[in-house]
Amino acid sequence: MAPYDNGTIVDAMVELVEEGKIDRKLLERKVSRLFKLKQQLLEDDFAAILTNSAPPTPASFDVQADREAAYEAALESVTLLKNDGDVLPLQDPTIILTGPTANYLPSMVGGWAFHWQGPTDNDDPGFSTTTPNNKATLLEGLQNQFADVMFKPFEFDTTESDVSARIDSVASTCTPESHIVIAVGEQPYTEVSGTHARYHHYLIQHL
């Protein structure tokens, strides 16, 4: 894949076909399958091309129907856990939030959003130009719902000693009434290995 220089790939492919190093019929068959899939996934976009009409623009995204569809998809992806000890619903709780994805929008958006490798941080320009104003991290969402939320930062790239120190920091602020929320996950990526989450299990086990 060459996201920023596709012309070079096209020229090289033509040259390889002409030299007989790539079978033209095989190439055409594979390209046809790709177009068929894209047409099924992006029917409206292809219809605009075939009729010479304007394709969808960023301004047409994030309409109410899109938000409702995203909300329904989020609801369907929720994993329900057994409410042991009647922990929920929370009544005026003291919440201690930690974990690498607690205050990190890119992990909620993922790869292939705004950029090839996904957004880089909470200040990525893509968030200001292509997402609604009501976007929020988990931290912001909890702060909007509850009055007493304490945030203990936790970076993706850390060391075992740093994890231990952060666990001690969280533990020192806990009371019997505290509820600890741990947000784990990976940074957005496409063609690279995901975030090494070797300390995430350690964090969960010790809190």
Least confident segment among 55-59, 78-82, 102-106:
55-59
Inform me whether the pLDDT recorded for 132 exceeds 70.
Answer: no
Q: What is the pTM of this model?
A: 0.65
User: So what's the pLDDT on residue 72?
Assistant: 92
Q: Measured between alpha carbons, how far is 170 from 167 in angstroms, rounded to an integer?
A: 5
∠ Cα 47 39 62 (to 5°): 70
Tokens coding 27: 């190439």
126, 128, 130, 131 alpha-carbon torsion, rounded to 10°: 110
User: So what's the pLDDT on residue 142?
Assistant: 93
The helices-and-strands tally (H runs, E runs) of the chain is 9, 3
Q: Which helix (H) or strand (E) holds 95?
A: strand 94-98
pLDDT > 90 fraction of the chain, expressed in percent and rounded: 17
